[in-house]
Amino acid sequence: MRSGSGGASPWRRSDPGGIGELSRVSVATTAPSASERSVGGAGRGVSFLDAFRSCFVPPEARSPETSMSDDFHPSHQLSQSLSSQGSNSGSTFGSKRSIKGMYSPMHRNSSEREMPGSTKFSLPQIQKATKNFSPNLKIGQGGSGTVYKGQLADGTLVAVKRAKKNVYDKHMGREFWNEIETLQRIEHLNLVRFHGYLEFGGEQLIIVEYVPNGNLREHLDCVNGKVLEFSQRLEIVIDVAHAITYLHTYSDHPVIHRDIKSSNILLMNNFRAKVADFGFAKLAPTDASHVSTQVKGTAGYLDPEYLRTYQLNEKSDVYSFGVLLVELVTGRRPIEPKRSIIERVTAKWAMEKFVEGNAIQTLDSNLEANDAVNLAVEKMYELALQCLAPTKRNRPSMRRCAEILWSIRKDYRELVVPTSAMN
What are the chain's domains?
A: 19-87+213-422 (1.10.510.10), 123-209 (3.30.200.20)
The pLDDT score that the predictor gives to residue 58 is 38
What confidence score (pLDDT) does residue 145 get?
83
Strand-pairing partners, residue 149, are: 159
Write the CA distances from 305 to 70, 217, 290, 302, integer angstroms.
39, 26, 12, 9
Q: How many CB atoms lie within 10 A of CB 53?
A: 14
What is the predicted pLDDT for the residue at 108?
A: 37
- How far apart, in Å, are the Cα atoms of 32 and each of 41, 381, 389, 407? 19, 18, 20, 11
The crossing angle, in degrees rounded to 10, of helices 398-422 and 230-245 is 160
Residue 92 contacts by C-beta under 8 Å, 6 or more apart in sequence? 142, 143, 144, 145, 163, 167, 171, 172, 175, 176, 279
pLDDT for position 229:
98
pLDDT at 166: 61
Question: What distance in Å separates the CA atoms of residue 407 and residue 274, rounded to the nearest whole number?
Answer: 21
Q: What is the pLDDT of residue 49?
A: 56
Sequence-distant (6+) residues with CB within 8 A of 163 are 92, 93, 94, 144, 145, 172, 176, 203, 204, 205
The residue ranges of the chain whose pLDDT is under 70 are: 1-119, 166-173, 285-291, 418-423
Establish whether 259 is a catalytic residue: yes
| pLDDT tens digits for range 297-320 | 899 999 999 999 998 999 999 999
What does R_g of the chain's alpha carbons equal in angstroms? 21
pLDDT for 219 equals 98
Annotated catalytic residue within 259, 277, 303, 317? 259
Q: Given this model, what pLDDT does residue 422 score? A: 55
Query: Which parts are annotated binding residues for ATP?
Result: 165
Q: How far apart are CA 174 and CA 369, in angstroms?
A: 46
Strand-pair category, 46-47 with 38-39: antiparallel
